[in-house]
């Protein structure tokens, strides 16, 4: 059943889809969950506690399906990433907080985040395979240009 997901984008309830993915079978997991909580909707009221419980469930599933050599990435605003680190620090190893600049201006009575973050965790710090991509520096030190 897992083969049907190979090289595919699959839409559905993430917790249901995770059930069909075997333990330690995925090289990289990435999540970009919803983060516009506490908005004033006409017909819906967010429940932050339910949201965080749900996040802990799918984060646990991300860790479960990631190979020992694999990496885990989570994208969100800093506010929610601080909660995710609480869950992830129990099960994986923090590698980096990647900042993605998001220049904004103040809206209403709150400040907007100046960046989005991507958490980078290793499932097993000794076994993680990470191939750093390096680009040549824009200035050549030998030829002075």
Domain ranges of the chain: 2-122
Give me the CATH topology for the region 2-122: Rossmann fold (3.40.50)
Q: How confident is the model at residue 125 (pLDDT cuts 50, 70, 90)?
A: confident
Which has more confidence, 95 or 36?
95
Tell me the pTM. Answer: 0.77
27's CB contacts (< 8 A; 6+ apart) are: 66, 67, 69, 70, 71
Q: What is the mean pLDDT of residues 43-55?
A: 78
Q: How far apart are CA 18 and CA 74, in angstroms?
A: 16
Interval 95-102 mean pLDDT? 86
Window from 8-17, 55-64, 133-142 with minimum mean pLDDT? 133-142
Question: How far is residue 11's CA from residue 18's CA, in Å, rounded to a whole number?
Answer: 12
Mean pLDDT for the chain overall: 82
Interval 68-95 mean pLDDT: 93
Q: How confident is the model at residue 42 (pLDDT cuts 50, 70, 90)?
A: low
Contact between residue 6 and residue 20 where contact means Cβ atoms under 8 Å apart? no
Residue 37: what pLDDT? 62
């Amino acid at each position: 059943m897992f083969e049907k997901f190979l090289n595919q984008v699959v839409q559905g309830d993430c917790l249901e889809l995770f059930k069909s993915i075997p333990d330690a079978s995925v090289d990289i997991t990435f999540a970009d969950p919803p983060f516009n909580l506490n908005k004033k909707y006409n017909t819906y009221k967010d429940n932050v506690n339910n949201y965080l419980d749900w996040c802990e469930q799918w984060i646990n599933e991300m860790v479960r399906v990631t190979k020992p050599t694999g990496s885990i990435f989570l994208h969100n605003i800093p506010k929610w990433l601080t909660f995710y680190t609480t869950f992830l620090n129990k099960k994986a190893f923090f590698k980096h907080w990647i900042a993605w600049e998001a220049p904004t201006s103040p809206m209403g009575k709150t400040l907007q985040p100046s960046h989005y973050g991507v958490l980078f965790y290793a499932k097993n710090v000794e076994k993680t395979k990470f191939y750093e991509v390096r680009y040549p520096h824009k200035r050549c030190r030998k030829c002075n240009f």
